[in-house]
A and B are shown apart, each in its own frame.
Chain A
Amino acid sequence: MAEMEVANKGKKGKRSKKLSTRVDLTPMVDLAFLLITFFMLATTMNKPKTMEINKPVEDKDQDKDMDEPTIKMSKTLNLMLGDNNKVYWYVSPDEITATSTIELDSTDYSAQGLRAVVKRRQNEVQAMHGDKNELFVMIKPLPGSKLKNTVDALDEMTINGVNKYAILPPKEAIDSLVALQINQKRK
């Protein structure tokens, strides 16, 4: 391929031979593309996305005698993340009396599962209080759950537009009852 056309026209003189200045660039192009391929494969193109989490500030000195801001329990939804990709949800009544019952059910993280529960609860809160943004979701991951479950649950909050939610340790009395009921370790 190399063009080594030697000028061979005219008289056979003692003139120095005129060499073509053209160089065959094919190997150079080969090399360039080889390196491009290497760098393309080595580079990390898609940047990972992140999910921001804000935890409430733990203040040990204060708040001891101050009352925690109370939320009406009828505005809440409790999600307990258990093992085997199951999520247990319940709504506790405003006041717990001897006769009060709690609805407890399990579901999964699919669009028909958890999302439907959150949507239903949003509608209930809307009917009761007039604004579905009043819904407060408490996410309580149990030790048996996986990180994926927490991420999925938080994701559902974003998808459903729930503005008020928190990751809390399952430490209320009712949580331990529920944990006992569903055969999960609480700590």
Chain B
Amino acid sequence: MAPRDSIGHAICSARERGGPALVAYITAGFPKKESFRELLGAVARTADLVEVGVPFTDPMADGTTIQRSSRASLEQGVSLKWILAELEAFSNEAPAGAERRAPLLLMSYLNPLLAFGIERLPDAAAKAGVAGFIVPDLPYEECDTLRAALDARGIALVQFVTPVTPLDRVKMLSANSSGFLYAVTMTGTTGKNVEVPPEVFEYFARVKEVSPVPVCAGFGIRSRAQVAKLAPHVDGVIVGSALVETLERGEDPSAFLQSLR
């Protein structure tokens, strides 16, 4: 089984259990570098998929929460190299099948990946147990090199669609997305506290209809009520800023994630 297939399986089995898949985002090394693996373990036991954020100095698609957590991680010296080493150790810690553990995706802006080297990234990621990548500043037209490199190791590259993406482009992007399709709930950055407007459900319906891969909704998802509203329209929901804020408050991330189901 290619690493990317574990993503679809995780979403399917969440679906079978009756809920949308819960995709949890944490910034690697936030709040404390030393407790990253412990935190990751807790999140990976509760969520169906985990997005591990590679901090970057200029997170232009992110709101203030993830800007803060990224900066805090960078100040502790977190780098992609460190993250891959930690993930490798994490993947080797527990024997496979000993417990339910969510597949991991790396969410990174392009420049840290370029600095690491696109040639050696797929091997290092495969070794670290990474099933897919999400790169918010890499539109489809610029992604050939990375996509081909990841593809060769069976690793997914997730594409985005947004409420302003024309339908033809939604078709093209979903046909070329692997793992899942990241459907942004609104125009804006991550973490905004806004109600999901009704026209967004029509947009999700259009996206679902054409997408050959599961559709996960993200940006601004914070409450059980929102998750319940979105549940009939998508295959998964992505929770990032709200989880990071839970960590900032020193509260239990697993309990927060459970409260969304």
Query: Do these two chains interact?
Result: no
